[in-house]
Amino acid sequence: MHIRNWLALALMLGHAWALAQTPATPPSLSLDDARAQRARARVLKAEAEQRFEADKAECQSKVIAVGCMSSAKERHLKSLHEADALERTGRQAEREARTREAEAKAAKREAEAADREAEERADVARYREQEAQRTAERERRQAEEAAKLESRRSKAKADRAEQQKRFEARRQEDAKRAQQAPENARKAEERRRQHAERVKQIDERARKYAETLKQREAEKPASQTAQPAAKSPK
């Protein structure tokens, strides 16, 4: 009995060492494949238990069962080790698949975040450019309005200066005329007096001329009467 136990222990250790030396399942299984492998391992364990129970029943039914239970246990342990190995590799593959999936999701999130960040930067740059254009346009319009306002102010100032200049010129002219008014009145009165004097002189000459003509007319018949009287003695 002890020998069989030692043999079983040796077989278990040998299988464990062999499984440890078996290369792990390549980390290329998908998550579904890894889950299917773990399910297969559970099926293998259940089948191993069923076979072991069947083997025990068969060994107990035999009259001579030397080595029967040892062989049954050996097959049972081998099946369990194979199922455990399949379970471990499936679990490892599932972890790796989950890791790859998580990394893929993280990479996708990072890529999407990078895209969003790039889009946000582009939006910010576009907004800043548009804002700069709007600011430049606003400043241009303000400058134009300021220039127009300054032009209107300058024109109004020039117009006021011109009006003031004309007003001052008129004021000076009025002052000059007012200052010259007495002299002008005197000169006008002198011109009227001189005109009246000339008119008087003309009237006087006309009167004298008329008197002269009248006198000549009066003297004319007397001279005509004297001429025939002078011719008679001949």
Asked if the structure places residue 234 within a domain, the reply is: no
Amino acid 220: pLDDT? 74
Q: How confident is the model at residue 5 (pLDDT cuts 50, 70, 90)?
A: very low
Amino acid 59: pLDDT? 85
Q: Which of 39-43, 83-87, 143-147, 182-186 has the lowest mean pLDDT?
A: 182-186
Number of domains in the chain: 1
Asked if the structure places residue 148 within a domain, the reply is: no
Alpha carbon 140 to chain centroid, angstroms? 16
At 70-109, the pLDDT tens digits run: 888 888 888 889 888 888 888 888 888 888 888 889 999 8
- Residue 111's alpha-carbon distances to 69, 99, 117, 124, 164, in angstroms, are 60, 18, 9, 19, 77
Q: How confident is the model at residue 140 (pLDDT cuts 50, 70, 90)?
A: very high
Q: CB atoms < 10 A from the CB of 116, how many?
A: 12
What DSSP letter does each residue of 182-229 carry, written as one string? HHHHHHHHHHHHHHHHHHHHHHHHHHHHHHHHHHHHHHHHHHHHHHHH
Any idea how long the chain is?
234
pLDDT exceeds 90 at position 231: no
Asked if the structure places residue 193 within a domain, the reply is: no
Cβ–Cβ < 8 Å for 90, 41: yes
Asked if the structure places residue 8 within a domain, the reply is: yes
Asked if the structure places residue 149 within a domain, the reply is: no
Which token pair is 69? Answer: 């239970």
Asked if the structure places residue 33 within a domain, the reply is: yes
Asked if the structure places residue 55 within a domain, the reply is: yes
Asked if the structure places residue 194 within a domain, the reply is: no
Q: Which domain holds residue 79?
A: 2-115
Cα separation of 86 and 11, whole Å?
19
